[in-house]
Structure 1
Amino acid sequence: MVRLFKSRHTTSHSFKIDNFSLLKKYGIEKVESSVFDLAGHKWTLSVYPNGHKSAKGTHVSIFLMNQVSVNVLLTYKLFVVSQLERKWHSKSKDQFDTNPEPSTEGFYEFITLADLKRNGYLIGVKFYEIEPANPGTAECFSLIEKPLNHKVTWMMSKFSSFNPGKVHQSNEFVVGTRKWRIEVHPRGYNEEKDKSFSVYLSAEGFVKNAPNTKTYARFKLRVLDQVSWNHAERAGTEWFDAEPEQSGFADFMPLGKLDEPYLVKDKLYVGVEFEVISTTNYC
């Protein structure tokens, strides 16, 4: 379906969202495409799966945003295409005017939630009166529950040898289409310095050929109890930026608790478990 659409609409970018029902389950209000090139400019598509502002709860809202200045008048059309039948839903053609700053154009009430759920649609934008690409471009966004390698544990042997005043990171590991590290500050970070053991999840680069785009993750950071398995853990939810970014807890646990049953024979185990993660691939 996506490949056929790209071949027939060479001045378009399509944004396929899989597992649409999971967006509601996890309360995700907005999904953004990666940055794509069309009509000589850079853009993103923003989709509000449960509607935005006045359309909340009744419609899907879709918007187009320029990432750099637009110096010409461009004609475009936002659309959704049924994946079950030959059905194209769109608004009338519109124009993206010259604008030196990032701006947003689109529709709050693009398509009803009932219609979207009934047919399953491919979302996208098509430009007119420009040189065609060969073919059009497309990406697929998915939410994955308990992804492959969703539990990772870092064994910090000879913990006493780690410089307490510096930040330390685990080896890099891959979950979804992104590379990650666990990051710790043994004597605390920022306002928790000399008070807490700070733990963070660090989003790094991406696997080969994956779009560099925001990544959604629900996760648990934990320090393992090596005696009774009553682990210390904190849950987090974050949209990680395409650039390296950390999310976690400066006050993960008081320094006074950093002893048995967590620190045993100079070994400490720090881990992360991903409940759900987003992936984006070209398709």
Structure 2
Amino acid sequence: MSLKLVVINDGNTDENGSGHISVYLAISGTTSLPANWEVNAIFTFFLFNQLRDNYLSARGKMRRFQSFKCLWGLAKFISHNTFKEASNGYLVNDKCVLGAEIFVVQRQAIGECLSMVKSTDSFKREWNICKFSKLGENWLSEEFTVGDHKWKLLLYPNGVANSKGCNISIFLKSVDAKYFDQHKKVRVNCSMNLKKQINGEGKKLSYRVWFPNTSEDWGYIAFMPLTQLCDPKNGYLVNDCIVVEVELKVEFKHSVTSLS
């Protein structure tokens, strides 16, 4: 018996995966298995961010693989738009890196029970950040709480990593994710809007991600070119001030409990 990763680039339309990349785990080599075989497994899919050297991860529920159902996964692992957006770093030089982590749970042995609780906790806040030209390497907001967890807005006025000197970089920072144990996660939906002060519109980018991840912050290295930000005709930078709005919703709280 062996496991293989199945990727459907155009999405599994049978499971409403259109517009997304679908990923699955499949059991192969089952001819050597006894009749009525079954395998219980918990799996996590990973997509490597080649710009930030970290991973987007999505964990599935514990699934029972059997002869009549030997394929399980996620029809909407990641949208095509998010995957192809160059600043996200998932597709670089027409290449991506996908992987999976699998835990097989034995029947009659210690296993794990997954609990996924839907949350409605949300937050919306607007920051007027002044003296932009004198902020230094980075700017960190005050702490705020959403979904019983603590967060901050992290901003690099002159960019970070390969965007330094070219773009403004904006991230959501998890303050307490580093204290999570390995069985606890939360999924957030975050929108960041760099607003035009002339009409209230702006550039808005959104993403969904599980915390903790390999990084304690998640966002956009190349949120906006500095030339566009600093052009007075655009209205983003006025009197050396910018306005950044964040909408944050904790969608799910995920935990794994040992069972004996």
Please give the range of the TM-score, normalised by the shorter of the 2 chains.
0.5 to 0.7
Q: Which runs of 5+ in 1 are unaligned?
A: 1-23, 33-45, 58-101, 111-124, 129-137
The Cα shift of 1:238 comes to 1.2
Q: Which of 54, 59, 80 is the equivalent residue of 2:70?
A: 54
Q: Per-residue CA shift, 1:85-115, capped at 9, x if unaligned?
A: xxxxxxxxxxxxxxxxx983227xx9xxxxx
The answer on 1:160 being equivalent to 2:133 is: yes
Task: Give the Cα–Cα distance (whole angstroms) in 1 for the partners of residues 180 and 161 of structure 2.
Answer: 36
Q: Which of 152, 160, 180 is the equivalent residue of 2:151?
A: 180
Change in 2 beyond 3 A, CA 1:56/1:268: same
Superposition CA RMSD, Å: 4.2
The Cα shift of 1:189 comes to 0.9
Count of aligned pairs:
174
Task: Give the Cα–Cα distance (whole angstroms) in 2 for the partners of residues 180 and 249 of structure 1.
Answer: 16
Structure holding more strand per residue: 2
The answer on 1:265 being equivalent to 2:223 is: no
Aligned partner of residue 258 in structure 1, secondary structure = helix
Q: Is the 8 A contact 2:167 2:226 kept in 1?
A: yes
Q: Which runs of 5+ in 2 are unaligned?
A: 1-15, 25-41, 45-58, 74-100
Give me the identity figure in percent: 22
Change in 2 beyond 3 A, CA 1:251/1:282: closer
The answer on 1:277 being equivalent to 2:251 is: yes
The Cα shift of 1:245 comes to 0.8
Deviating beyond 4 angstroms after TM superposition, the runs of 4 or more aligned structure 1 residues are: 24-32, 49-53, 125-128, 208-212, 280-283
Aligned partner of residue 175 in structure 2, secondary structure = strand
Change in 2 beyond 3 A, CA 1:51/1:160: farther
Aligned partner of residue 182 in structure 1, secondary structure = strand
The corresponding residue for 2:162 is 191
The Cα shift of 1:268 comes to 1.2
For normalisation by structure 2, the TM-score amounts to 0.53
Task: Give the Cα–Cα distance (whole angstroms) in 2 for the partners of residues 170 and 31 of structure 1.
Answer: 35
Amino acid at match of 1:233: K
Change in 2 beyond 3 A, CA 1:56/1:282: closer
The corresponding residue for 1:106 is 105
Aligned partner of residue 154 in structure 1, secondary structure = strand
Task: Give the Cα–Cα distance (whole angstroms) in 1 for the partners of residues 72 and 196 of structure 2.
Answer: 44
Aligned partner of residue 48 in structure 1, secondary structure = coil
Counterparts of 1:223-238 in structure 2 under 5 Å?
Answer: 223-238=194-209
Amino acid at match of 1:160: S
Aligned partner of residue 160 in structure 1, secondary structure = helix
Task: Give the Cα–Cα distance (whole angstroms) in 2 for the partners of residues 151 and 204 of structure 1.
Answer: 18
Task: Give the Cα–Cα distance (whole angstroms) in 1 for the partners of residues 256 and 192 of structure 2.
Answer: 30
Aligned partner of residue 105 in structure 1, secondary structure = strand
Q: Is the 8 A contact 1:221 1:235 kept in 2?
A: yes
Amino acid at match of 1:162: L
The corresponding residue for 1:143 is 118
For normalisation by structure 1, the TM-score amounts to 0.49
